[in-house]
Structure 1
Amino acid sequence: MPQMKVLLADDHPIVLMGVREIIERDPRFKVVGEALSPSELIEKISLLRPDVIITDYNMPGDEHYGDGSRLVEYLRRHFPEPRIIVLTVISNPQVLTWLYELGISGVISKSSGLEQILVALDAFYREGHYQQDMPDETSSDALDDVAKSLSQLTVKEFEVLRLFASGMAVGEIAQSLNRSIKTISTLKISAMRKLDVDNDQALLILCLKANLFT
């Protein structure tokens, strides 16, 4: 069987270097390219035609394809053939379940070790798929108080909160997600109520404490 072609995307060069080093330990897999932004990723998918895409969930600053849910939806709609692995520190069970339902092949936590990437690639090579358990919402009992609160958010609320924490204003989030300002404001207010915060400063402090948006 020929080498499996892997394309990497992350806005942190150190992460890219670490992931490449892990993958290239096994001669069955070849990193054919790296991207630092969603636009660069889309361009290189068309050019390199990878078998597997390993992408960060949070790559801010791209006006064309966005990141997070918007980017993953675009990848699944326009590039159905490559398997997709999402790297993230997000633990929100609703977001993770939505990603699997969308058709990605796996979610690998940056905080739990990137060695799992080789496990997933080995499964692709041997069996054609990577069997990963669906997230169990009851497992949130093991999370700290902040993570428990975040786990209550819907996918849309979480996405608005994630973009807000990255420094975007409500109007910019509305433009990025192609929604009205009123809709984004409503989602932000709903998220704040669930998180029991009553101002933007408290909201940002909670996001920093959770360390979920890097």
Structure 2
Amino acid sequence: MPQMRVLLADDHPIVLMGVREIIERDPRFKVVGEAMSSSELIAKVSQLSPDVIITDYNMPGDEQYGDGTRLVEYLRRHFPEPRVLILTVISNPQILTWLYELGISGVISKNAGLEQILVALDAFYREGHYQLDPLEGDTSADTDEISQRLSQLSVKEFEVLRLFASGLSVSEVAQSLNRSIKTISTLKISSMRKLNVDSDQALLILCIKANLFA
């Protein structure tokens, strides 16, 4: 599968820098452009045709495009193909529900940690669905605790987890390790049980925290 093209939009340069750094950890994803206003975002979407748009909810707008839900409405109406991720500190349930009704693919809470972006992109890359409720807060764990949990894995379990974290599907991991899909699935499930995670998203967050993508 070719690289997934990502367009970023935020009016804070340090946020853009941080998001770009997170995305560029994974060679499957490429940042093709950045914007610091609604007008610049719309122009670059037209020019660059990204696969994913990651945009701040609150940023300088104008009469034509505005920001917030107005900007999102414009994006979904005129550019229905790219997936849209919203970066925000807003936790109002009604706004979040409305954003999803507009057709966005996910909301990333700036308070919960931007590493969620890589988890969302991974879900998109695998043709899966991503949705994390930002009201749930940060699911990260202390580094020592993560190391202790990882130490419980067998060599085979750790290798399956490492390959899964690199972006391979269960069937691709099975092919890479020359094992059956059933065996790999069993190892993945046992790894998740030992790590005390109950979803692929939670598993990938833990992998990011443990720097298994490096």
| Greater C-alpha radius of gyration | 2
* TM-score, length-scaled by structure 2: 0.61
| Distance in structure 1 (CA, Å) of the matches to 2:112 and 2:20 | 17
What's the counterpart of residue 130 of structure 1?
Answer: 130
* TM-score, length-scaled by structure 1: 0.61
What's the counterpart of residue 80 of structure 1?
Answer: 80
Distance of aligned partners of 1:24 and 1:134 in 2 relative to their CA distance in 1, 3 Å threshold = closer
Q: How does 1:163-178 map to 2 (within 5 A)?
A: none
| Distance in structure 1 (CA, Å) of the matches to 2:132 and 2:123 | 10
Distance of aligned partners of 1:12 and 1:24 in 2 relative to their CA distance in 1, 3 Å threshold = same
Aligned pair count reads: 137
What's the counterpart of residue 21 of structure 1?
Answer: 21
Unmatched 5+ stretches in structure 2: 138-214
| Distance in structure 1 (CA, Å) of the matches to 2:112 and 2:135 | 15
Describe the superposition over 1:26-46 as per-residue Cα deviations: whole angstroms up to 9, x where unpaired.
Answer: 000000000000000000001
Identity %: 85
RMSD value, Cα? 1.8
Q: Secondary structure at the match of 1:54?
A: strand
What's the counterpart of residue 164 of structure 2?
Answer: none
What's the counterpart of residue 112 of structure 2?
Answer: 112
Give the superposition deviation at 1:130. 1.6
Q: Secondary structure at the match of 1:85?
A: strand
Q: How does 1:151-166 map to 2 (within 5 A)?
A: none
What's the counterpart of residue 5 of structure 1?
Answer: 5
For the 8 Å contact 1:88–1:107, the answer to whether it is kept is yes
For the 8 Å contact 1:58–1:88, the answer to whether it is kept is yes
| Distance in structure 1 (CA, Å) of the matches to 2:35 and 2:87 | 14
Give the superposition deviation at 1:129. 2.9
What's the counterpart of residue 32 of structure 2?
Answer: 32
| Distance in structure 2 (CA, Å) of the matches to 1:6 and 1:46 | 13
Unmatched 5+ stretches in structure 1: 140-214
Describe the superposition over 1:88-119 as per-residue Cα deviations: whole angstroms up to 9, x where unpaired.
Answer: 00000000001011110000001110000000
Matched to 1:36, the amino acid is: M
